[in-house]
Structure 1
Amino acid sequence: MAIHHHLRLLLGASLLAFGGVAAASPTFAVEMKSGESFSDVAARVRNSVVSVSAQVTEELGSSSARRSRGEGSRGPKKGQSVLQKTSVGSGFIIDASGIIVTNNHVIEDGNTVFVVLPDGSEVKVDRVIGRDTKTDIAVLKITPRANKPLTPVSFGDSSHMRIGDWVIAVGNPFGFKGSVTAGILSGRGRDISAGPYDDFLQTDASINSGNSGGPLFNARGEVIGINTAIFSPSGGSIGLGFAIPSNTAKRIVEQLRKHGEIRWGWIGARLQTPSDDIAEHLHLDHAEGALIARVDKGSPAEAAGLQEGDVVLAFAGTSVKHARQLPRFIAQSNVGEDADVLILRNGEKKTVKVKVGRMIEADWSGALPLSQQKAKRQKLGKISFAPLSDDLRSRLGLSSDAEGAVVSADESRVVARGNLNPGDVVIEAAHGPVRTADELDQRLTQLRALSRSQATLTVRDASGAIRFESVSLDQD
């Protein structure tokens, strides 16, 4: 999981190791009322929260071992040939048979994983049932001890949580086991750029390093989130914590328990959020939806007749506000099922049925990076377009029959401030193909003659990614 700027995973002093799986258990009947204490709920749920630790053993001299030596790691003893570290986080029991849920980042590097139960006893994890890097969830299995039954908690419905509702976080921050903090639900649907399907709950309940994988409860003692990350310039809590919603976690845990892996949905389309200029050109009332920039050959999207330039407004009955939402909606769909996709094409709305395929890593195609989505209107006055010569095709890694117009510049700094970059290839303008630089010039001239103030270009960059750009036709 990539973490940017001050966003931090909630790991312990070294690394982390945990495990967990979901299963049904009775919902606690205790609910806190206004003016009451959290003590009754906390007393019940604390016995279901565990500490998870992962031991990481690396051979000395390996690149990972060299990176690891530093804060929180022990140096080798004389004659020692390996480097050992321990990472600590949290987890929670969801089934009395010994199923535990935690964050994947807590255990992903561990050679051996241990769980410390609420009574202080340590149990070695029998196996990792499954884990998913995209949502950062892992499910573990331990063997319960005779005459010491485990106390599970159940998942609640995160969609029923409202902004301002009370929440309770339980975990092991900095090794302080069974710590309970309270706050409110501060936000939902947060995208923190931690993964492709971000949809985090936000809370001001104090969570810190070591809370990773621990539960976020509602006032009834139901798990409505898995604490995963904080935003902090210092590493400590400043009231900006993020948790995976229980409705996401339940589905992931069920699949991990059933299949040992996640079967993500996929349709094979590259997406971007329309800018205001592109939205106007596409006859959208607002800059919303997911603009299809590329359709993969042989994909479900191609089979359904989806086209580049279509704007997806809704998927399976759920409105699409921006491009980063749609990959998550698709991924969470059932593989093999038909989904109704509402699109806007040439100013008209229509519904297309798409049979959801199964994603494999090599097939993942979702929203373009944010750096490629901030499409601003750009002037063409100091940007020129060169024909595609054989030499340029070779330098840009294009096929020998590739067509289009290559972006160049009289003043490269002008291009650098916009989204058209030297080496980009314009392959379409105003809904028509561009085969040569002269053809692009003719299309732009025609648009100016029609008193058009802007043009929408389809651009392929050096990596092969396709996107739409809006450019001003003002030559000043």
Structure 2
Amino acid sequence: MFKNFVNSIWFFLLLTTAAYAQLPDFTEMVKNNGDAVVNISTTQNAPDTTQLDSEQQMPQDVPPELEDFFRRYFQGPEGRGYVPRETNSLGSGFVISKDGYILTNHHVVNNASEIIVKLKDRRELVAKLVGSDESTDVALIKVEANDLPVVTIGSPEQLQVGEWVLAIGTPFGFEQSVTAGIVSAKGRSLPDGNYVPFIQTDVAINPGNSGGPLFNMHGQVVGINSQIYSRSGGYMGLSFAIPIDVAMNVAEQIKTKGKVSRGWLGVQIQDVTRQLAESFGMDRPHGALVAKVIPGGPAEKAGIQIGDIIVDFNGHVIETSGELPPLVGMFGVNENASIKIIRQGDKEDLNVKIGLLPPQASNNLAPSAAPEFAVNRLNLAVSDLTEEQRQQLQVEKNGVLVQKVNKGIAMDAGIQPGDVILRVQNSPIKNAADFNKIIANLPLKKSIAMLIQRNGSPVFIAFKIDK
């Protein structure tokens, strides 16, 4: 019996040793790359000041030794009635050139009046902001130094889901903190990152890690740690990094041109749902559905139409709509790209000359009330658009305004009062009478695609008429 016990112990030790041998060893990677990771502290002087109520006065009978304190608090340093505010923040960064260029996040250095870079050897250097890009959350700063340790740049395209990655940064001010995990997903699209195909990891990232590097197992930087998903403000297993090729492209443009230029296709797109795929005659949902074509833009000139589904951009297969904007944004302005689309069930090849992304404008104007409307088969009330409403909603032609949505198919599909219905399937809607006629002739139990405009943005929805 004792012999069996000893054998069991040996077997357990062998399994433990084998499992330990399969775990990665990060020690050499940290030794070789830690020197190039820096701590960044910034100071922001808030321009707005806290004004005091005119009736707020310094307390009476203040002891002489506290008079100066209360005078400053209640009247400001010169009796002007304000309290100046100064805020500090911490972040991370990494050196990409021996002469002092450093990459970090835009939000780490945004509105900073002073940027201090602390190296691993305890040197503290004042940095200047070369430039930053809010859309990608990338910033380039520089310190006056020579022969600095630098990181090696890797390729995010070769990164595999499930691969080990490592982060070095300054979470909560704890310098040179190392955390590790795996790549959870690639090409993630986030609401505030239209031009970034984020790398998702389960590496522990916390406030202060922002701007720090994400390394692969070869000791190469593949991303900049940028965001976390959290309900508490701390790490919850969902961390997102900007691919280093996106960041280096931004940095190079900042260095050479002083600004960032992005490619522009001139469309508004959305994902293809199962019902929309059925309505467009597709065997499965994929691609980017064109909901709007900007007049005079590159897409219109290339022949792209509303309802087209972009499934390939210059050799890159498009599975979801979020994959397209980063590819277009990084594509060369005034260069030609090949595009594959699905139009009414047929595949077509187009060539488009990519334009320069113009300044974006938003429109949240609500339509004014229209007195007359007609009820149609979908159990909703629509009316013709007045000229004033067209100007407010930026609807040049066609379309009807949804006035009321009753319980039924339209409500279940998500149509709301104030929406503008632009087309049903491939038929543009000219007016309310035209809309009711088209709805009356729709087939039963078949997915129907409807293009609506809501708060200035077009979107396709799908519904079925069962009876």
Task: Give me the TM-score of the superposition, normalised by structure 1.
Answer: 0.79
d(CA) in 1 for partners of 2:71, 2:125: 26
Residue number among 377, 381, 387 corresponding to 2:383 in the alignment? 387
Letter in 1 for 2:131: G
d(CA) in 2 for partners of 1:336, 1:219: 38
Residue number among 156, 159, 164 corresponding to 1:158 in the alignment? 156
Structure 2 equivalent of residue 458 of structure 1: 451
Structure 2 equivalent of residue 373 of structure 1: none
Structure 1 equivalent of residue 461 of structure 2: 469
Shift, 1:395, TM fit: 9.1
Shift, 1:104, TM fit: 0.6
Letter in 1 for 2:25: S
- Structure 1 window deviating more from structure 2 (463-472 vs 127-136): it is 463-472
Change (3 A) 1:399 1:253: closer
Residue number among 296, 319, 324 corresponding to 2:294 in the alignment? 296
d(CA) in 2 for partners of 1:189, 1:76: 56
Structure 1 equivalent of residue 414 of structure 2: 419
Letter in 2 for 1:263: S
d(CA) in 1 for partners of 2:396, 2:145: 65
d(CA) in 1 for partners of 2:341, 2:282: 11
Change (3 A) 1:303 1:413: same
Taking the TM superposition and a 5 Å limit, the aligned residue runs for 1:133-148 are 133-144=134-145
Max Rg structure:
2
Taking the TM superposition and a 5 Å limit, the aligned residue runs for 1:343-382 are 343-362=341-360
SS of residue paired to 1:120: coil
SS of residue paired to 1:397: helix
- 1:100 is aligned to 2:102: yes
Contact 1:204 1:239 in 2 (8 A): yes
d(CA) in 2 for partners of 1:169, 1:442: 60
d(CA) in 1 for partners of 2:439, 2:22: 65
Change (3 A) 1:468 1:112: same
Q: Give 1 or 2: higher helix fraction.
A: 2
Structure 2 equivalent of residue 281 of structure 1: 279
SS of residue paired to 1:361: coil
SS of residue paired to 1:362: coil
Taking the TM superposition and a 5 Å limit, the aligned residue runs for 1:35-114 are 37-61=25-49, 78=73, 79-80=76-77, 81-114=83-116
Structure 2 equivalent of residue 182 of structure 1: 180
d(CA) in 2 for partners of 1:198, 1:76: 50
d(CA) in 2 for partners of 1:165, 1:401: 50
Shift, 1:225, TM fit: 1.3
- 1:172 is aligned to 2:190: no
SS of residue paired to 2:381: strand
- Structure 1 window deviating more from structure 2 (106-115 vs 180-189): it is 180-189
Shift, 1:349, TM fit: 0.8
Change (3 A) 1:76 1:213: farther
Contact 1:385 1:437 in 2 (8 A): no
d(CA) in 2 for partners of 1:308, 1:239: 39
Residue number among 309, 312, 335 corresponding to 1:311 in the alignment? 309
SS of residue paired to 2:331: coil
SS of residue paired to 1:118: coil
Taking the TM superposition and a 5 Å limit, the aligned residue runs for 1:400-411 are 402-409=397-404, 411=406
d(CA) in 2 for partners of 1:302, 1:395: 21
- Cα deviations by residue, 1:362-403 (Å, 9 ceiling, x for unpaired): 2799xxxxxxxxxxxxxx75622333164x954983689854
SS of residue paired to 1:409: strand
- 1:325 is aligned to 2:323: yes
Contact 1:381 1:474 in 2 (8 A): no
Structure 2: runs of 5+ lacking an equivalent: 1-20, 52-69, 78-82, 364-375
- Cα deviations by residue, 1:4-25 (Å, 9 ceiling, x for unpaired): xxxxxxxxxxxxxxxxxxxxxx
Contact 2:419 2:452 in 1 (8 A): yes
Contact 1:92 1:214 in 2 (8 A): yes
Shift, 1:331, TM fit: 0.7
Structure 1 equivalent of residue 340 of structure 2: 342
d(CA) in 2 for partners of 1:401, 1:359: 22
Shift, 1:357, TM fit: 0.5
Contact 1:383 1:408 in 2 (8 A): no
Change (3 A) 1:168 1:277: closer
Letter in 2 for 1:86: N
- Cα deviations by residue, 1:251-307 (Å, 9 ceiling, x for unpaired): 222222222221100011111222222211211111111111111111111111111
Sequence identity of aligned pairs in percent?
33
CA RMSD of aligned residues (A): 2.9
Shift, 1:121, TM fit: 1.9
Change (3 A) 1:452 1:238: closer
Taking the TM superposition and a 5 Å limit, the aligned residue runs for 1:167-246 are 167-246=165-244
Task: Give me the TM-score of the superposition, normalised by structure 2.
Answer: 0.80
